[in-house]
Copies of this chain bind each other. A is one copy, B any other.
Amino acid sequence: MVTARDVGEAVTRTRAAVHETPLVTCRAIDELAGATLFFKCENFQRVGAFKIRGAMNAALSPGENDRAKGLATHSSGNHAQAVALAARSLGVPAHIVMPRTSPAVKVKAVEGYGALITFCEPTQADREATLERVVHDTGAAFIHPYDDERVIAGQGTVAWEFISQLEERGVRLDALVGPVGGGGLMSGTAIAANHRSPGTRLFAAEPCGADDASRSFHSGRREVNDAVDTLADGLRTNLSDRTFAILSRHLEDVLTVDDAQIVGAMRLIYERAKLVVEPSAATALAAVLANRDRFARQRVGVILSGGNVDLEAFFTSLEGMR
């Protein structure tokens, strides 16, 4: 079981390897929300997302696996880059299994960290089978994107650091909101906040096109997504038994928002806070704005989980104006 002590140790273990990301406020968004919001900017984190915290904590933790033979994972997203960078920091190989349909820009980013990529069919079954073969052939240690205690403890360092920064300003949060996909970030957040800031109400935010966490939370048993339909590509995964158990114990609620609300929140963050965030990161703000009554006049922490987004349309239009 992951404990607050594990998160505290992860803070110490990963300190030299991750950024302390800034806390940002935005008067214009506060006015719209009718609350005082504090944004934790993991879009400024290494690899552009909080994922490096969990990957680095797993890579640096003592364990039975022989890390000298490298690190492995399957992912087409931020976790792939995180494991690739963690391996490079350790000076060992990274073996990343990616669906052959992954966007070229993501493949290039992972290659940019020196990882070895094995392509698979874009199915969960082939991802897992391919990963198993890679791990068997190479002896690399598998780091799961969220169903791993070391990863959960690592992601918990976001909230741990956030609460420390708020304490320096004399602020205690009434509520803390972050996005939920597989549940690694929110599990770590819940464990850290429960210990460091008891009384702060905890909310997860989820796209309604991938609402397994909301349905699970309300039914009391783990549900899965039959199909997913959301722009928020980081939030399409299902909870695991492990993350569901943690979240069902600690959360006050799981709030769902649709993609129009997510894009609306993303636009606010760009236009008013001047931050580049990905749709998954905007989901938490969207949930706050869609539930004004629940957060009115409160101090609310909002985790901006990452900033890796394809801005091609914008830059193409700018280049067309030349």
Interface residues of A (CB under 8 A from B): 22, 24, 27, 41, 43-44, 46, 48, 231, 259-260, 263, 266-267, 270-271, 273-277, 279, 307, 311, 313-319, 321-322
Q: Which of B274, B307, B315, B322 contacts A48 (CB 8 A)?
A: B274
Q: Which of B274, B276, B277, B321 contacts A231 (CB 8 A)?
A: B321
Q: Which of B259, B267, B273, B315 contacts A267 (CB 8 A)?
A: B315
Q: Which of B270, B271, B317 contacts A313 (CB 8 A)?
A: B317
Structural contact, A322 and B276, CB atoms closer than 8 A: no
Distance of A102 from chain B, by nearest CB (Å): 17
Chain B's closest residue to A304 (CB) is: B274
Q: Which of B24, B46, B275, B318 contacts A263 (CB 8 A)?
A: B318
Chain B's closest residue to A27 (CB) is: B46
Chain B's closest residue to A24 (CB) is: B44
Q: Which of A267, A274, A314 has the most CB of B within 10 A?
A: A274
Structural contact, B315 and A316, CB atoms closer than 8 A: no
Cα–Cα, bound, A277→B313 (Å)? 16
Cross-chain pairs A/B with CB under 8 angstroms, 26 sampled: A24-B44, A41-B274, A43-B274, A44-B273, A48-B274, A231-B321, A259-B322, A260-B319, A263-B319, A263-B322, A266-B315, A266-B318, A267-B311, A267-B315, A270-B276, A270-B311, A270-B315, A271-B311, A274-B277, A275-B276, A276-B276, A311-B314, A313-B313, A313-B317, A314-B314, A314-B317
Chain B's closest residue to A26 (CB) is: B44
